[in-house]
Chain A
């Protein structure tokens, strides 16, 4: 977190005690919400998932390891593609042309859409033999398309594509904001030194945006580990539960199968992935004073 703007010039008027009481009063609603609705459930979750036998049960489930692997693939590829494309596109949208500005407004549409319509639309594009995608392939290229959700690779690929489609606009906007904050003088100076094109990007833009890029990638990875709708409504685990991720597996185990402790254990088993990402995130944000 950025050390805010500047240290306070204001002097406390009145005693330190009253000041602290005021601060406590202002923070009270948020602290109350955090305690009652975040920390209590979290503690409860850890307690639920603290029985070792649950993890033996997980390991014995033949679906567990493929699911964990899917999560890594889904998060690893999805996040990196999203962020890299968002970074490139933010450069494209820096253009002052009014058509491109209009296109940006259009481009944000997936982000403003509710989760269900957005992901259901993707499901319908590829469903069955005569989905919209296959009709397009046949009309324009005269190719008979595959039955997408019958193939593990294609189904997982569509999950990833849909998630990229939904979240890339948001990150593009963040990077666009980051790029706009770079003073023009820096580019002018780089121009004089002869840095143009790719070199301008790799020697000027990226070093400045690098930390933001890193922090956003971490955040996006954390969020996509918990992405439920992007898998559930797109492939729905098809074919035969082979494309489930931990989020869908955990929720279904807890509520459809009716075994909340086991579902929780499945989620907790993602901690080895979550904790390092979180620590990295906090260190990065502190060290470099990037504000998100």
Chain B
């Protein structure tokens, strides 16, 4: 019975690993192929060719001319979204979770509504509104869109985590004459640090990985991000797919590294936000 279970577990594990890795392996296979034109149908790379990574690194192909600049833009969007989300989210969660206000539940429910608006549905009016604000082709327009979608999640997680910080601390500070801002700055923020890291990482990944808003809002070479640049490969019929895959792999590295570095915080964040049902 016991060996039976063991074999079952191992079998399930292998199925999960194969399912997860096959598409990723296929990416590597194409990137390592030195023939640009056609996928050769090999299951294993005939010979390892790192040429395509070399090309990406040295920006040696005309689609990739500005690769590192675009990479920088992606970084800017990711980090700024993180900062904006954490700032707005922590302020709002403090007001909703730790101050007395009879109608805070109305507001908390309104944040849930934001959850329910699919991002692609808002995209069409968002683009024309950004035009009206004079933010078209600006990295900030993408930052604002991503921060807006990440903030409701941030508020929910932060409120939940905030329950672990005793309210008596706030009371004591108030008796000593602290203003709400001082409580926020000196008590709330330091004690909430782990949850803030989780929420910030979530926002960073969301902004880095998203495609549609970057594609619709950014068009000039100056403001383009890696995601938009990757999309250009599809415009051409004879694009070198090995370069495209190599670019995609380089582009995928930062979020993967971030996730693995921060995963303990993120899992803790999810656990906090997860059911206490």
Contacts and interface: CB of A to CB of B under 8 A. Distances in A.
A4 B156 contact: no
Contacts of B192: none
Contacts of A95: 9
The A interface is mostly helix, strand or loop, or mixed, namely: helix
A251 B120 contact: yes
Given A181-B275, A254-B124, A277 B249 contact: no
A37 B125 contact: no
B26 interface: yes
Given A37-B148, A180-B271, A291-B156, A264 B125 contact: yes
A109 B24 contact: yes
A133 to B, nearest CB: 8
Given A23-B99, A264-B124, A229 B212 contact: yes
A165 interface: yes
B259 interface: yes
Given A42-B125, A247-B120, A274-B118, A114 B209 contact: yes
Contacts of B241: 124
Interface string B36-61: 00010111000000000000000000
Interface string A28-52: 0110011011101110110010000
A251 B124 contact: yes
Interface in A158-212: 162, 165, 173-174, 177-178, 180-181, 208-209, 211-212
A263 B124 contact: yes
B68 interface: no
A130 B151 CA distance: 44
A97 B12 CA distance: 14
Nearest to B40: A130
A122 interface: yes
A267 to B, nearest CB: 5
B19 interface: yes
A42 B277 contact: no
Interface string A199-243: 000000000110110000001001101111100000000000000
A136 B179 CA distance: 66
A250 B9 contact: no
B123 interface: yes
Interface string B114-133: 11111111111111110001
A34 B151 CA distance: 10
A121 B241 CA distance: 11
Contact of A9 (B91, B171, B212): B171
A15 to B, nearest CB: 12
B16 A37 contact: no
Given A4-B159, A10-B171, A26-B180, A116 B248 contact: yes
A60 B125 CA distance: 24
A65 interface: no
Given A23-B95, A26-B95, A125-B23, A228 B212 contact: yes
Given A106-B21, A247-B121, A121 B26 contact: yes
B236 interface: no
A166 to B, nearest CB: 10
A27 B170 contact: no
29 contacts: A8-B100, A8-B167, A19-B101, A22-B99, A22-B179, A27-B95, A30-B89, A30-B155, A40-B129, A45-B121, A45-B124, A48-B124, A95-B9, A97-B9, A103-B16, A106-B21, A110-B20, A111-B259, A112-B258, A112-B260, A177-B273, A177-B274, A181-B271, A181-B274, A181-B275, A226-B119, A254-B124, A274-B118, A290-B275
Given A33-B144, A44-B125, A124-B245, 11 more contacts: A20-B101, A27-B95, A38-B148, A114-B251, A117-B249, A124-B27, A177-B274, A222-B115, A226-B121, A228-B212, A247-B118
